[in-house]
Amino acid sequence: MQAAKKQNIRHLSLEELQSYFERSGDKKFRARQVYEWLWQKHAHSFDAMTSLGKELRNKLSGDFDLPSLTVDASQYSADGTIKSRFRTADGHLVEGVLIPTETRQTACVSSQIGCSLSCKFCATGYMDRKRNLHYDEIYDEVVHINQQAEGTYQKKLSNIVFMGMGEPLLNYKNVLKAIERISSPDGLGMSPRRITVSTAGVAKMIRQLGDDEVKFKLALSLHAANDQKRHEIMPINDTNNIKSLIEALNYFYRKTGNEITLEYILFKDFNDSIQDAGELTKIYRQIPADLVNIIEYNPIELASFSKPDEATTELFMQHLEKNRVNARLRRSRGKDIDAACGQLANKDTIH
């Protein structure tokens, strides 16, 4: 007969842990000790919980599982960016990136193993979605990337962006629970204002974020300023057109007052004309967006897009500026190790 699957101890709340210790006839304060080991001291085994007696560690090991994400491999870019491939306890691979600048240490984290949205310009979009990441796995990504920031740059993480593999709003509960743990004083204690969740545009879930009155920032991956073009590169636009996204973002802002950013990748001869800039300006006028990030396209083998030349990019930016759009050109980092925006795909060449 197959043994019953043990419960992941990190999926228990502090109250549930307290109940467990009370039922076991142990002292209630043990729960707080264990919780601290799990979320603040980042113990990845029961043996690592050295303030607990061996007998108790053995009991916990017999009753619970403690699966965790491990760093499978890392790559270092010439510009200081570090890409890591993480391995889950059940053998899946997922990538995360540390992006260092003079003023920030940013973790770009993944929320799913693969992705189901099939955006035509994104390497992850050509992978199947294997499963959602659990909230403790997302938390582990942040812990590992923070350790890299401290070890390499002697600085803690200052920002987290959910812009890695997967669509965060299609893993809603785990993403929100991960952010709750990351921002909790008995977790990593990071301000939710320093966390940005990026979505390809799931209108219903953007509204849900408003109803849940979240505290973090939101970024919409727009990438085309009319439905026809957006449909070509982002199939999700079929069910979540630009009008529905504008309405959802306004609802989100009314409910939360949180910062909204629009993300727009420039593709040569596709969405880089002055007419495109004009259409983007019109959308910007309808949304309480703080900023439009114009992003350099990073080529991938599976797609035929390329980036426009500097002169075209400059004209596009000038048009936005002239029309008082708060836009910033974001130069990509980590391109030499496929760690830039849209390039994460668990390549076997990582070492």
Question: Is the separation of the CB atoms in 302 and 123 below 8 Å?
Answer: yes
C-alpha closest to that of 31 among 4, 56, 5, 1: 56
341 counts as catalytic: yes
Integer Cα distance of 167 and 160 in angstroms: 15
Question: Is the separation of the CB atoms in 95 and 164 below 8 Å?
Answer: yes
Radius of gyration of the chain (CA): 22
Q: Which two tokens stand for residue 60?
A: 């916990």
C-alpha closest to that of 153 among 212, 100, 92: 100
Query: Of 22, 95, 141, 301, which is the active-site residue?
Result: 95
Question: Is the separation of the CB atoms in 263 and 330 below 8 Å?
Answer: no
Q: DSSP state, 304? A: -
Question: Is the separation of the CB atoms in 263 and 121 below 8 Å?
Answer: no
Query: Of 108, 119, 122, 341, which is the active-site residue?
Result: 341
95 counts as catalytic: yes
Per DSSP bridges, beta strands 131-132 and 195-199 are: unpaired
C-alpha closest to that of 94 among 347, 346, 350: 346
> Which residues, listed in sequence order, are joined to residue 327 by a DSSP beta bridge?
292
Give the residue numbers marked as catalytic.
Answer: 95, 341
